[in-house]
Amino acid sequence: MTKTHIKICGVKDIKIAKHAINCGASFLGFVFFKNSSRNISISKCAEILDKINGKVNTVAVTVNPTQSDLETYSKMKFTHIQLHGNESLNEVRKINEAYNLKIIKSFSISTKSDLDKIREYCPFIDHILLDSKQKKDMPGGTGQTFDWKIIKNFCPNKSFFLSGGLNTTNISEAINLKKTEYFDVSSGVENSEGIKDEKLISEFISKANKAVK
């Protein structure tokens, strides 16, 4: 592996967005989920997207989006949409056909059998995202890892993000699994829930880059 692709998820302000880009983040995720401390309004997000246009991949992070939601996101300056709910295969196929957005589909992992259904989604998505299984009311961002041994023999025909509980102390270990070049972090670069920390972002990306050398 020659390069890691880091996604900083749950960005809420332009200062953090610019800092993450300057540190070398490849993706920024903007969360549209009202129960999340990382939730951002459409107007605030549009403002940030205007200021960083073209500098980084931008991801609308959604949970079971309605058609109205999808119409809104498709008109904004997003490169990707992340489907982080329990969207069915048919729903994902329809989104793939209807919108000019690359799709990241999240899957909650706690046992090996959770990997079984991923393959059928692959024709309709651009990236897989493997996250730890969460509580029903909070689909992600709680800082819990899943057992990485589960993905020892996981070799999909799509690139995948490793997510769930990544932070500055375990990113090197995650990269040394040599399973993927894509890593998603949210709570692991926060100094309190929903509040990103510039130093932690710098440290996380720096450690990721050193680990691949």
Scanning the structure block, which residue is given the tokens 């450690």? 207
Other C-beta atoms within 10 Å of 190: how many?
Answer: 20
Rounded to 5°, the CA angle 193-196-180 comes to: 100
Choice among 23, 45, 131, 184 that is catalytic: 131
Among the listed residues 9, 23, 45, 184, the single catalytic one is 9
> Which pairs count as long-range contacts for 2-5, CB under 8 Å and 24+ apart, including other chains?
2/212, 3/181, 3/212, 4/175, 4/181, 4/182, 4/183, 4/208, 4/209, 4/211, 4/212, 5/181, 5/182, 5/183
Is 23 one of the catalytic residues? no
Determine whether 137 is an active site residue.
no
User: What tokens appear for 148 in the block?
Assistant: 């990485």
Q: Which residues are catalytic?
A: 9, 131
